[in-house]
Structure 1
Amino acid sequence: MSTAEHPLEQLFHPRSVAVVGASTSQGPGGGFVTAIQEMGYQGALYPVNPKAEEIQGLKCYPSLLVVPGEVDYVISSVPARIVPQLVEDSAAKGAKAVHFFTAGFSETGEADRAGMEAHLLARARELGLRLIGPNCMGLYCPESGLSFMPGMPKEPGPVGMVSQSGANAGDVCRTGGVRGLRFSKAISYGNALDLGESDFLDYLAQDAKTEIIVGYIEGVKDGQRFLRALRAAASAKPVIILKGGQTEAGARATASHTASLAGALAIFDAACRQAGALRVDDMDELIDTAVAFRYVKELAGPRVAVVGVGGGHSVLAADAVAAAGLEVPALPEETQRALAEFTPVAGTSVRNPVDTNVGFGPEGPRLMRETLRLVAEAPNIDAIIYQAAVGWGPSRRGGDNGPDQVEYARQLATLAGESMAGFGKPIAVQLRPALTAEAMEATLAFQEEAAAQGLATFPSIGGAAGALRRLLDWQRMREA
C-alpha cells in the first residue's frame, strides 16, 4: 500500500479545519487557531464560538452547522458534555475526523465518563468518523500547515512522532527543532479511544516522507497488535521509543493522565527487542538519538576520538564515552607527532582525548580544522566528538575585547561541517551550557549553522556518546 492509499493519509491533508470552542484569548482553543495560521495553512480555517464574532482576524461562527460548506477536520475544545452533539454535527458537515482536545473522560477514573467514551466510539463508527483523543493535542504536519501549538518548526523533514502526550510531542518538536530536526508528522493521541499508537505506527511505517520514527508511549490497549505494528515499522526504518510509566509512581500517573495501563517495563523492553526498536529512558535520550540517526547516520565502529579544550573536561569526556560502551583508543604515534607540531606544550594532550587549546585567536579556526583533519585520518578512529568552545570568549557581541562570538560560532560550525564532509569521518559536536545571554546567542548561531552543515549537536558528552552507541547497536541489530 502506498502512502496515498493509506486510510489515514487524508487526515493530514484536510481542505478545511474547524476549531470548535476557539478562544478569543491565547488559551488552548485560541492556540489552535494561532498555531494553524502560523504554519501558513492554505485551506479554510473556521473558528467556532457563539460568544465571538472574530478570532485572530477570522470570522467566527456560532455553531459548526452554520460554517459554509463541508469541514474535513474538526478540533474540539469544548466541555465533555457537549462532545456527543459535536460528533453528530461533525458528521453532518462531512468531517473525516474529529480531534478531541477535550478532556474529562476515562482518565478521570469515573465509570460514567468511561461509559461516555464507549458510547462516543460506537456512534462515531456508525457515522464513519475517525476520532483522535480525547485528551490530546492532535496533528502536526508542516507540509499541509497543520499544527497544535505555536512555535513549531515550519519546514517539513524526515522525522515522524507518535506521542500519547501533547506536551511531550511539543517538547520534542520544538527542542529537536533547535538542533536541526524537522518533522513529517507528529501525532498526539491521548486516551486512544479510536486511533492509537498501532494505527499511527502503521501509517508512519508506510509514509514515504518519514525516515525516522520516534515515540512516547504510556500504555497500549492491544499488545499483540502493537507488537505487529512496531515490528513492521522497525523493519522499515529506525524506531526510537520512550516508555512513560516505568516506575510504580509513573504507572500511577499514566492512569490519571491518559487512562493507560502502563504495563511491566520488562515486557515492553522485550517487545522492543523482538521488534528491532530502540527503547530510551528519557526525553533527552529520545532527542539525542533522533539527532544521531538524522545527522550521523552510520558508524563504522565504536572507536571515538574526543577533541576539546580543557584537561578536566577531557578526562570526564573519556569517562562518559567509555561508560556508554564506546572505545577511546590512543591515537597513532605519527598522528600525535603531527598534532604536537602546532600544539602548545603546557596543559595540553595529543593522545586521545585531544586537548590542544588551539581553537582561540585569529589562527584558531585554521588550527582546529587541521586538528580535526589529523584525527579523522587516524586509521583507528571511527568517529569524533568535538567539544566546541562556543560563547566562552571574553567579548560581548560587537565588543572591542575580542572576536564577535556569534560570528566565531558560525565559523566553527562551518569548519566542523566542512571537516566532516572532507575528511570522511562522522563528527558529533558537544556544546557546553550557555551561561550568559551572549553565549546563548552564540550557541543558537552554532546550532543553526550546524544543522545547515549536517552536523549533530548535543548538550552533553554523555548524551552524544549514548546516542552514538544506540546508533551502533541499531546497525548491529540490522546486520544480525
Structure 2
Amino acid sequence: MTHPERPGVVAEHVVKDLVSGFGIAVPRGATTPAAEDVAATASGLTPPLVVKAYGPGLVHKSDAGAVRLGLGSPVEAARAAADIRTALVASGVAIEGYLVEEQAPPGVEVIVGAVRDPSFGPVILAGLGGVWTEVLRDTALRLCPITEDDARDMLAELRGAALLDGLRGSPAADRDALVKVLLAVGGPGGVVESLGDGFTEFELNPVICTPEGAVAVDARLLRPSPPTADARLPRPFSAWQAGDTRLPGPSPAETAETAEGGRPPRPSPAERAGRRGPGNGPQDFTRLFAPRGVAVVGASAKRPNFGNMFLAFYRAAGYSGRLVAVHPTAGEIDGVPCVPSLAGAGVDYALVAVPAERCPDVVREARGVPFVQVMSGGFRETGAADLEEDLVAAAREAGVRLLGPNCMGVYAPAGGQTFIGGRPGPPGRIALISQSGGLAGEVVRVGERRGLAFSKVATVGNSADVGPAELLRHLADDDGTSVIGLYLEDPRDGRALFEALRAVTKPVVALVGGRSAQGHRAAVSHTGAMVGDARIWTALARQTGLPLVTAQDDLIGALDLLDLHAGRDVPASADVLVVGPSGGAGVLAADALDRAGLRLAPLPGVDLGLPVGAVPGNPLEIPVGPRGRPDLVGRVVTAIQRAARRPYPDVLTHVNVQSFFTFGDSADPLLAYAHAVGELQRGLTGTRVALVLRNAEYAPPGVEDELRAIARSAGVPTYRSIEAAATAVAAAKVRDQRREREV
C-alpha cells in the first residue's frame, strides 16, 4: 500500500477517505491486497460493482486497463480482478491491491481538481469531467481559497453549464451539492488548504452529479518528490490510523532538531525572497522614486556605453540631487564627478550597468545604499539562475534592496528619476509597474504624447528581490497616485500579488505577456517566466476585480479613462449609450461593444425630441458634421439621460473627423464639437463620457492634439477607434463591479 509520506501516487481509497472527511460523498467500497479475496471483500456491497487495481505506477488507471465497470456480482468482480492482474503483470506494472466499490448511477460528469502553480500556489479547477476533460478542455480556474460566489461563478463559466440544468427533458443536477464539493476541496479549511505543500496534483474525476447529489467516483493525489518537512497529509481520518497508512506527525528527530535550534520554520515566499524592509515591516520606497543622490556604475571614460547614456539621461532631465559616476581611476566622466566605489558614495540609488558576472561584486560594495538597480541582463532569463541567486545573496549581504536585474529603472518626474532620454513630462497621478523596461518607456512616452501624466513608474525585470506585489502595496498607499497599470510576465510571487490586488482600493489595470503558447515561450526567454497556465490570470482577474487588456495601446487607453474618471461615482452597470453619425459605424460599434461584454440598452420609450435626420436606437445615429450644430450631441444625450429610468453610466460619442475636412474647409466646427462634448461631461456628474475621433489621421497636423487637449480639460478621454474606447470602458466597468461588491 502506498505510504502517505512517500512521494508519488497515493492510493485511491486513501484519498477517498481523506475527502470523505471533508463531507464529500464517495461510493461504498472495500480493499484487499489479493485478487483471490475480491469476492469475499465485495460480499457486503450492492451490484453493479467496480474493481480497480492500485499501485505506485498506476496514475491513470483507465489508460492502463486497471478498471472494470458494471460487474454483476462479487464472483464476477473476482474474475475481473484476476484479468486485471494478468494484464498488468504482463506489462510490468506492480499491483499493491484492489478497490471494490458500488458503481454510482449515471449523471453529469464533472472534474474538480487542484494543482500547485509555481508562482500563484494552489489553484482549483472545475469542468466537464470524464473523457470530456481532455476532449473539450471546458474548465474554469480560481486561486484557493475560494468563496461560494467563486464556486458558482466557476460553474456558470463552463460552456457545458447547461448540462447541469438538464437538457431535453433530463432532470437538473444538484448544483448546490457540486458547489459544496468545490468548497470542500478549495474553500477555507478544505482539502487543498489542509494538504499544504503536500501535493502537486489533486483530482476528483469524475464527480457524478445527479438530482440527488454529487459523488466522487475517482480520486487521485500526487505527492511532491522529494517531500518537504511540512508536506504531510492532514489527520485524523480513519483509514490512516493503522498500519502503513497511519498518518505521522513530526518525527522525534525533526522535533529535536527544531527544539535545539536546528532547522528553522519554513519561511513564507515573501520572506524567502527577502521582500521586507528594516525591522521586517513594509518597505518604504520613497527614496526609490525620489533619491537624494544617484550613482551610475559602468560609465566609461573612453568609450560611451549604457552607463554614459544614463548619466546623460539624468543630466537632460535636470536632476537636482547628487549625481556621481563610479570609476576606479577617473576624476569625472561626461562632466559628472566620479567616486572609486559605491561604498560611501552617499547616494540613495545606484544604477549598475556592467557585465552580468561582475554585478554581484558591485552590489556587495553597495552597503549603505538603500536601492540598487541592475540594468544588466544575462541572468535567469538566459538560464543563468545561479548567477541571479548570487546577485540576490550579494544584496542581502550588503543590506540593500535590489531592482531587477534585467530592467531599465525608475521614472518619477516629481522625484527626478528617469530612464528615458529628454526632459520628463509633467508629474501626474498614473503609476506603472512593468517587467519590461522598453514597454514601460513606450507607455510613458506615448501616454504623455496623448496627455497622460505619470506619478511613478518602476521597471522590475526579473523581480529577483523587489517585485510587483510589494510595489503595488506601496503605490496603493501613495497619496500622489490615483490609478495603477501593470505589465507582467512572471510576478515571481503570484500569491503575494493576488493578496495585494485583493487589498488595493485604487483602480488597477493589467496587461499580461506570455498568455498564449508562443507568448509564454517568448516570456521564458525574456524574464524567465514560470506561470504555467494562462487561465490563472483570468481567474486572478475575476477574483480581484482586475481588468485585463491584451495590447499596449489598450493599457494606455484604460489608464487614461480610469485616471480622468477616478473620482466619478458611476453606477455598476454594463449599459453604454453610443451616439454619432453613420449607420455603418453604429453597426460596427454594436459589434465592438458586444465583444467587450458591454450592453447597448434601448432608449427610453418616450418622445425624446430627436432632431431631423436622427435614426432612433442604440447606437443612436444623429447628423454630426461640419454643417451640424456642435451642441447637438450634448442636447440629445442630456434629453435621453433625463428621460431614462436609470441613466446610462457611460456615453460613447463618436465623430468622423474625415468628413469635416472633406465637406468643410476649417477645423473650427470640429473644435466646437469637442468643446460641446466637454460641456456635456461637465453637466453629467454620474456619467463617464468618452470621445472617439474616427479617421483622426485625416486631420491637418496639430488638429488631433488640439482636440485631445480640449476634451482632456473637461475630463473626457479620446480614442481613435470605437474598439479602443470599448476596451477602456469595459475595464472601468470591471472596477465598478468590484466597488459595488465591496459596498
- One fold, TM greater than 0.5? yes
Query: What is the one-letter code of the residue matched to 1:193?
Result: A
Equivalent pair of 1:330/1:351 in contact (CA under 8 Å) = yes
State whether structure 2 residue 688 is matched by structure 1 residue 426.
Answer: yes
Equivalent pair of 1:17/1:72 in contact (CA under 8 Å) = yes
Determine which of 458, 463, 468 is the counterpart of 2:724. 463
Alpha-carbon shift at residue 43 of structure 1 (Å): 0.9
Alpha-carbon shift at residue 245 of structure 1 (Å): 0.9
Measured in 2, the distance between the counterparts of 1:118 and 1:69 equals 25
| Corresponding residue of 2:674 | 413
| Structure 2 gap segments, 5+ residues each | 1-280
After TM superposition, list the pairs within 5 Å mapping 1:219-238 onto structure 2.
Answer: 219-233=490-504, 236-238=505-507
**Aligned pair in 2 of structure 1 residues 299, 151: CA closer, same or farther (>3 Å)?**
farther
Measured in 2, the distance between the counterparts of 1:319 and 1:418 equals 28
Alpha-carbon shift at residue 241 of structure 1 (Å): 1.9
| Corresponding residue of 1:245 | 514
State whether structure 2 residue 645 is matched by structure 1 residue 384.
Answer: no
Determine which of 294, 309, 312 is the counterpart of 1:17. 294
| Corresponding residue of 1:196 | 467
Alpha-carbon shift at residue 134 of structure 1 (Å): 0.7
State whether structure 2 residue 499 is matched by structure 1 residue 259.
Answer: no
| Corresponding residue of 2:52 | none
Matched position secondary structure for 1:131: strand
Matched position secondary structure for 2:310: helix
1:118-142 Cα distance to aligned partner (Å, 9 max, x none) = 1221122111111111110111112
Equivalent pair of 2:293/2:348 in contact (CA under 8 Å) = yes
Asked which structure has the greater CA Rg, the reply is 2
Alpha-carbon shift at residue 103 of structure 1 (Å): 0.9
Alpha-carbon shift at residue 386 of structure 1 (Å): 1.1
Measured in 1, the distance between the counterparts of 2:357 and 2:678 equals 55
Measured in 2, the distance between the counterparts of 1:339 and 1:64 equals 76
Alpha-carbon shift at residue 68 of structure 1 (Å): 9.1
Measured in 2, the distance between the counterparts of 1:408 and 1:16 equals 51
Determine which of 573, 577, 587 is the counterpart of 1:315. 587
Alpha-carbon shift at residue 54 of structure 1 (Å): 4.6
After TM superposition, list the pairs within 5 Å mapping 1:108-119 onto structure 2.
Answer: 108-109=382-383, 113-119=384-390
Equivalent pair of 2:401/2:465 in contact (CA under 8 Å) = yes
Q: Which moved more, 1:34-43 or 1:240-249?
A: 34-43
| Corresponding residue of 2:635 | 370
Alpha-carbon shift at residue 60 of structure 1 (Å): 4.9
| Structure 1 gap segments, 5+ residues each | none
Query: What is the one-letter code of the residue matched to 2:665?
Result: G
Q: Which moved more, 1:137-146 or 1:302-311?
A: 302-311
Alpha-carbon shift at residue 199 of structure 1 (Å): 1.6
**Aligned pair in 2 of structure 1 residues 282, 263: CA closer, same or farther (>3 Å)?**
farther
Measured in 1, the distance between the counterparts of 2:532 and 2:618 equals 44
Matched position secondary structure for 2:363: helix
Measured in 1, the distance between the counterparts of 2:484 and 2:634 equals 34
Matched position secondary structure for 2:521: helix
Determine which of 453, 463, 468 is the counterpart of 1:182. 453
Measured in 2, the distance between the counterparts of 1:151 and 1:385 equals 35
Measured in 2, the distance between the counterparts of 1:53 and 1:335 equals 77
**Aligned pair in 2 of structure 1 residues 89, 411: CA closer, same or farther (>3 Å)?**
farther
- Aligned pairs, number: 453
After TM superposition, list the pairs within 5 Å mapping 1:322-337 onto structure 2.
Answer: 322-332=594-604, 336=608
Alpha-carbon shift at residue 246 of structure 1 (Å): 0.6
Query: What is the one-letter code of the residue matched to 1:176?
Result: G
Determine which of 107, 110, 135 is the counterpart of 2:381. 107
Measured in 2, the distance between the counterparts of 1:479 and 1:121 equals 42
Measured in 2, the distance between the counterparts of 1:64 and 1:286 equals 42
Alpha-carbon shift at residue 354 of structure 1 (Å): 2.9
| Corresponding residue of 1:8 | 285
Matched position secondary structure for 1:339: coil
| Corresponding residue of 1:65 | 341
Alpha-carbon shift at residue 394 of structure 1 (Å): 2.8
**Aligned pair in 2 of structure 1 residues 473, 47: CA closer, same or farther (>3 Å)?**
same
Query: What is the one-letter code of the residue matched to 1:263?
Result: G
**Aligned pair in 2 of structure 1 residues 355, 276: CA closer, same or farther (>3 Å)?**
closer
State whether structure 2 residue 402 is matched by structure 1 residue 125.
Answer: no
1:223-249 Cα distance to aligned partner (Å, 9 max, x none) = 33332223222xx22222222111221
Query: What is the one-letter code of the residue matched to 1:245?
Result: G
Determine which of 610, 626, 632 is the counterpart of 1:360. 626
Query: What is the one-letter code of the residue matched to 2:644?
Result: P
Determine which of 15, 33, 39 is the counterpart of 2:311. 33
Determine which of 351, 354, 373 is the counterpart of 1:78. 354
Equivalent pair of 2:430/2:481 in contact (CA under 8 Å) = yes
Query: What is the one-letter code of the residue matched to 1:148?
Result: F
Equivalent pair of 1:39/1:154 in contact (CA under 8 Å) = no
**Aligned pair in 2 of structure 1 residues 6, 378: CA closer, same or farther (>3 Å)?**
farther
Measured in 1, the distance between the counterparts of 2:458 and 2:369 equals 19
| Corresponding residue of 1:95 | 369
Equivalent pair of 1:176/1:287 in contact (CA under 8 Å) = yes
TM-score w.r.t. the length of structure 1 is 0.84
Determine which of 705, 723, 729 is the counterpart of 1:444. 705
Alpha-carbon shift at residue 10 of structure 1 (Å): 2.2
Equivalent pair of 1:20/1:78 in contact (CA under 8 Å) = yes
State whether structure 2 residue 441 is matched by structure 1 residue 170.
Answer: yes
Matched position secondary structure for 2:346: coil
Measured in 2, the distance between the counterparts of 1:52 and 1:364 equals 68
Measured in 2, the distance between the counterparts of 1:331 and 1:386 equals 15
State whether structure 2 residue 312 is matched by structure 1 residue 46.
Answer: no
After TM superposition, list the pairs within 5 Å mapping 1:295-310 onto structure 2.
Answer: 295-297=564-566, 298-300=569-571, 301-310=573-582
**Aligned pair in 2 of structure 1 residues 270, 208: CA closer, same or farther (>3 Å)?**
same
Measured in 2, the distance between the counterparts of 1:173 and 1:419 equals 29
Measured in 1, the distance between the counterparts of 2:467 and 2:342 equals 31
Higher relative contact order (Cα pairs below 8 Å, separated by 6+ residues): 1
**Aligned pair in 2 of structure 1 residues 173, 65: CA closer, same or farther (>3 Å)?**
same
Measured in 2, the distance between the counterparts of 1:26 and 1:415 equals 52
Equivalent pair of 1:108/1:256 in contact (CA under 8 Å) = yes
Equivalent pair of 1:376/1:384 in contact (CA under 8 Å) = no
1:169-220 Cα distance to aligned partner (Å, 9 max, x none) = 1222222333333222111100111111122122112222222221111113
1:422-460 Cα distance to aligned partner (Å, 9 max, x none) = 244321111224335x54521122112222221122222
Equivalent pair of 1:391/1:409 in contact (CA under 8 Å) = no
Measured in 2, the distance between the counterparts of 1:86 and 1:259 equals 23
| Corresponding residue of 2:231 | none
Equivalent pair of 1:178/1:448 in contact (CA under 8 Å) = no
**Aligned pair in 2 of structure 1 residues 411, 130: CA closer, same or farther (>3 Å)?**
same
Percent sequence identity over aligned pairs: 35
1:7-50 Cα distance to aligned partner (Å, 9 max, x none) = 22222221111222347999643443343334432212224567
